Amino acid sequence: MDILALNCGSSSVKYQLYDWEKKEVIAKGMVERVTIGDSFIIHEVPGKETYREEYECPDHQVAIHLIIKTLSSVEHGVVSDMSQISAVGHRVVHGGEKFTRSVRIDEAVLDAIKEVQHLAPLHNPPNIAGIEAAQSVLPDVPHVAIFDTAFHQTMPEYAYTYAVPFEWYEKHGVRRYGFHGTSHLYVSKRAAAMLGKPSNECNIITMHIGNGVSHAAIKNGVSVDTSMGLTPLEGAVMGTRCGDLDPAIPMFIQQQENLSPKEIDSILNKKSGVLGITGQFTDRRDVIEGVEQGGCPRCQLALDVEAYRLKKYIGSYAAATGGIDAVVFTAGVGEMAWLVREKTLEGLEFMGILLDKEKNRNTMTRKKESVITTPDSPVKVFVIPTDEELVFTEDVVAILEGTYTDHMNFKYSFATPEFQRK
């Protein structure tokens, strides 16, 4: 049974084909610059040289046709017949309150996803376009939606309610939803396994730090709070997004600079965060290089601001959970940027976090799980490479087999100490 996972962004489509019987990735890749011109595919097969082809993709349907063509090509393909693909799992960023777990897509489900697309106008439309395109290319296989927001639907009402007129929630769905749910699910289950405890007995703070950044407070195995809100703009400092700020600032700048609401929205989402502070960088590797070479004072400021905000989230989420067993760093920055981790954890010894600086500095890999605290540290800190596609695959297979329940009760393969990441 081969499962295809698709993650459609506004201008890209990521994919992974997974052999369920052998428990291994057959192929993965990405089509970039979809809809904007000069598009191309990067296709990776274990043991083979990476393949790149330029191919114009004016829409997501053409991009998915390109993926299917590449997967089945004589020279670079991995399947002889598309009937080998048993199902397709689709990432859907926003499920609103309608979806608390992954579901098989039918007409009613697709309509419900469309009904909440106004809550994620940058993300849900391309997700929907990808679903419809894949259904047209692979009409005879089941398609499953895996929602970023589903993992956080366990938040209590007091955690997801904003202190604004309550009718905004009743009429427009204004509340905290949270995102990166599959990543938080995967690394929290792995952390519990590394602690040698059932996940429902663990309090864990998971920190997904990439270009987008979100954190989750996980109490007894379920999300009770998360940093992103109605949209992915709230929370920590991100590559180009501002995160938490005084809500009066956008209105103030709009008046001072005579900007439109659309322009303000673009600035907060695309020109703020690390880019806003440094004026030139979003990649933390560039920021760290600027710090280490000493020629970029604003790189130092960006690093200090980001680490300070991360530290505050650890403190607040430790309070929200009543004490923690572990902190997890994941995603590109979380897995690779030792300096961000070190500055974030500085001064948290009073919480029982005893960082092993040498281990931390030697942990810069996206392939290996690591413990970066000392053996006697009461609270463990893990660096765990995330694997959202494996969550997609296991949800899809379980739905096909009729064994799927929800993340609190479903037995994932990666939630065991014996699990080996290939």
Query: Domain residues of the chain, as ranges?
Result: 2-147, 197-386
Q: Is residue 163 exposed (0-12), middle (13-18) or buried (19+ Cβ within 10 Å)?
A: exposed
Domain 2-147 matches domain 197-386 at the CATH topology level? yes
What is each CA distance from 342 to 147, 195, 207, 232, 360, in whole angstroms? 32, 22, 14, 25, 7
Whether 148 is a known active-site residue: answer yes
Handedness of CA 164, 167, 173, 177 (dihedral sign): positive
Regions of the chain short of the pLDDT cut 50 = none
Tokens for 407, please give them: 């993340």
> 252: Cβ–Cβ under 8 A, 6 or more apart, which residues?
none
Tokens for 10, please give them: 């506004």
Per the CB < 8 A criterion, the answer to whether 31 and 57 are in contact is yes
Say how far apart CA 17 and CA 24 lie, in whole Å.
9
What is the model's pLDDT at position 399? 92
Per the CB < 8 A criterion, the answer to whether 325 and 197 are in contact is yes
What is the model's pLDDT at position 159? 97
Residue 381 β-bridge partners = 327
Tokens for 252, please give them: 């103030």
Residue 54 β-bridge partners = 40
Residue 12 β-bridge partners = 32
Collapsing DSSP to helix, strand or coil, 212 comes out as coil
Say how far apart CA 165 and CA 75 lie, in whole Å.
60
Say how far apart CA 56 and CA 77 lie, in whole Å.
19
> Looking at 2, 106, 111, 148, which residue is catalytic?
148
Task: Say whether domain 197-386 belongs to CATH 3.30.420.40.
Answer: yes
**Strand pairing category for 24-32 and 143-147:** unpaired
**CATH homologous superfamily of 2-147:** ATPase, nucleotide binding domain (3.30.420.40)
What is the model's pLDDT at position 422? 65
What is the model's pLDDT at position 274? 94
Q: Which of 251, 366, 258, 236 is nearest to 309 (CA)?
A: 236
What is the model's pLDDT at position 407? 79
